[in-house]
Amino acid sequence: MTLTGQSLVAGQWIGDSANGEFNAFSPARNEPLSTRFFNLSAAELDGAIAAAQSAFYEYRKTSFAQRADFLTCIADHILALGDELLEQTHQETNLPMMRLQGERMRTVNQLKAFASALRENPESPLGLKVVDEADAARAPLPKPHTELNYLPLGPVAVFGASNFPYAFSTLGGDTAAALAAGCPVIVKNHTAHPGTGELMARAALAAIKECAMPLGVFAMVQSKAYDMSHQLVAAPEIKAVGFTGSFNVASKLQATIAKREEPIPFYGELGSINPQVILPNKAIEQSKEIAQSLCQSMLMGNGQFCTSPGLWLVPTGCDELEAHITACIDDAPSDTLLTPGIVNTFKHQIAARSQLDKVSVLGAGKLAKAFHANAHVFACNGDDYLATPALQEEVFGPAALVVRYDSEQQLMTLVNQLQGQLTASVHGTDADLNKADSLIEALQYKVGRLIKNQMPTGVEVCGSMNHGGPFPSSTDVRSTSVGTNAILRFMRPICYQA
């Protein structure tokens, strides 16, 4: 089916070249694709916002069962897009087809998880309703009947990610959570995969029509204009913002949001270096296994997972472990990253890190094509790491840093100076873990998910998942973007007293 290059607003495909246009891009061929996409105008965005507000009055009255049907219907229409969706996304991202199949299933599962949660708890989200019975006989004053329940916040703006074209984009976790909560959604589609966004919006529109939902309940905005994002988050009708992307863009959006008269929640997911702590016995007894696990996890999606393990804390002197890492990384094939801009940043960061005196290259994959990114693992000792704050910065792409700790005490120092992270893992034998209470106690205050003896990539979609973590990994640590608890991002409590 031909792509229109347009945005979806109030059930209509709109936008033309009058307001500027841009092309999709093929990372694999390192050249633009032929499809053009049209920037939505400011007035057209205002229309989408007004339609979302208008839809809210209807949509908030839908029962949980109706919303569950709607979410399931969206999931079905995503699957019905079939291979056309996968091929379009593969063209726009060069992510492997198998990876895209997995991410599509995960996105469908997130929609269905909300549908199940809504069906299982038709009276309140996650069964959180609380009832206190009246007591007319209580002295000195009678006790009233009070019930706590939850209401949707209102229209929500969602900013999709480049690296998860399904799971954190147009119909990803935030959109699913907001729709489950009873909130209309306006998605600012990521310009790295505009055709994917259009196809997903097509699936959403089909479900809206099939379920007779108000047309303004979902809009998808295409634009390369910087102002558009700020116009969206500044609009008084918008009651929450979900964002997955860079620290810099998030800071600018947050500054605009801070100028609003009404404060609203800003759920930003800004990246993480996901520290991996390798304890001494594990490092020695299972050196090959742990080295390969670290490398494989880091290389997944060519290092473009938000949970990619970018910092590996290993005991000083584990030569075998380091040799296995070197062997694994030297063998890693190079590949493209999502956009030329990301490749460019990656190469600059790699060059800068390579030039640091106290940092050595432990392994580096060969570069097959000039516009590829090739894997790098650097290494330094704990003292030099502590003295070089730049080494804490995330390198987005296939890179990691081994930091050698020379004592339990230095390991604790390294953990205590960490910034907030989405995840961290502790890898240890039983003997290691029996001595690691203080380490684990300290580490949990740095992360949103604490993992034992597993890699951080692969985020389970379930009720107990938490995806988010202390700043700067996320801007609102009290919530998750994955799993059924994410519905609470877009609801608020209300007490009914009678």
By annotation, the residues acting in catalysis are 269, 306
Q: In the window 158-217, what residues touch a copy of itself (CB under 8 A)?
A: none
Report d(CA 167, CA 231) in Å as an integer: 25
Segment contacting a copy of itself by CB under 8 A, of 114-122, 188-196, 292-300, 476-484: 476-484
Beta-carbon neighbour count of residue 93 at 10 Å?
28
137 binds a copy of itself (CB under 8 A): no
List 166, 448, 481, 487, residue binding a copy of itself (CB under 8 A): 448
List 33, 144, 210, 361, residue binding a copy of itself (CB under 8 A): 144
230 binds a copy of itself (CB under 8 A): no
323 binds a copy of itself (CB under 8 A): no
97 binds a copy of itself (CB under 8 A): no
Q: Is 419 helix (H, G, I), strand (E, B) or coil?
A: coil
Cα distances (angstroms) measured from residue 101 to each of 24, 160, 165, 265: 21, 18, 11, 32
234 binds a copy of itself (CB under 8 A): no
| Position 390, amino acid | A
Q: Pattern 41-80, binding to a copy of itself, x per CB under 8 A? A: -------------------xx-------------------
List 96, 122, 333, 493, residue binding a copy of itself (CB under 8 A): 493
Segment contacting a copy of itself by CB under 8 A, of 28-36, 210-218, 354-362, 456-464: 456-464
Residue 203 near residue 171 (C-beta atoms within 8 A) = yes
Closest C-alpha to 32, from 170, 195, 235: 195
Q: In the chain, what is the greatest distance between 2 CA atoms, to the nearest angstrom?
A: 81
| Three-point CA angle 485, 183, 225, nearest 5° | 105
Segment contacting a copy of itself by CB under 8 A, of 12-20, 155-163, 393-401, 475-483: 475-483
List 80, 97, 431, 462, residue binding a copy of itself (CB under 8 A): 462
Q: Is 420 left (phi over 0), alpha (psi -120 to 50) or beta?
A: beta
132 binds a copy of itself (CB under 8 A): yes
Report d(CA 460, CA 438) in Å as an integer: 27
Beta-carbon neighbour count of residue 16 at 10 Å?
12
The DSSP bridge partners found for residue 242 are 158, 267
Q: Which is nearer to a copy of itself, 82 or 140 (CB)?
A: 140
The DSSP bridge partners found for residue 185 are 156, 218
Instruction: List all residues 6 or more positions away from 362 whose beta carbon is below 8 Å from its beta carbon.
Output: 322, 325, 326, 329, 377, 378, 379, 402
476 binds a copy of itself (CB under 8 A): yes
Q: Which is nearer to a copy of itself, 26 or 453 (CB)?
A: 453
Nearest approach in angstroms of CB 404 to a copy of itself is 26
Distance of CA 336 to the CA centre of its chain: 20
Closest C-alpha to 57, from 236, 176, 183, 175: 183
| Position 256, amino acid | T
Report d(CA 447, CA 453) in Å as an integer: 16
464 binds a copy of itself (CB under 8 A): yes
List 179, 295, 338, 447, residue binding a copy of itself (CB under 8 A): 447
Tokens of 379: 């290494």
412 binds a copy of itself (CB under 8 A): no
Q: Which is nearer to a copy of itself, 146 or 316 (CB)?
A: 146
18 binds a copy of itself (CB under 8 A): no
List 58, 120, 406, 441, residue binding a copy of itself (CB under 8 A): 441
Report d(CA 420, CA 468) in Å as an integer: 10
Q: In the window 147-166, what residues touch a copy of itself (CB under 8 A)?
A: 147-148, 151, 153
**Helix, strand, coil tally for the chain in percent (to 5):** 45, 20, 35
Segment contacting a copy of itself by CB under 8 A, of 17-25, 219-227, 319-327, 454-462: 454-462
Nearest approach in angstroms of CB 289 to a copy of itself is 16
Q: Which is nearer to a copy of itself, 176 or 181 (CB)?
A: 181
Q: What are phi and psi of 448, to 5 degrees?
A: -95, -20
Q: In the window 264-303, what residues touch a copy of itself (CB under 8 A)?
A: 265-266
Tokens of 426: 């502790």
State yes or no: cis peptide before 472, omega within 30 of 0: yes
Nearest approach in angstroms of CB 273 to a copy of itself is 17
Would you tell me which residues interact with a copy of itself (CB under 8 A)? 60-61, 102, 130-132, 140-141, 143-144, 146-148, 151, 153, 254-255, 258, 261-263, 265-266, 441, 444-445, 447-454, 458, 460, 462-466, 468, 470-472, 475-480, 483, 485, 488, 491-498
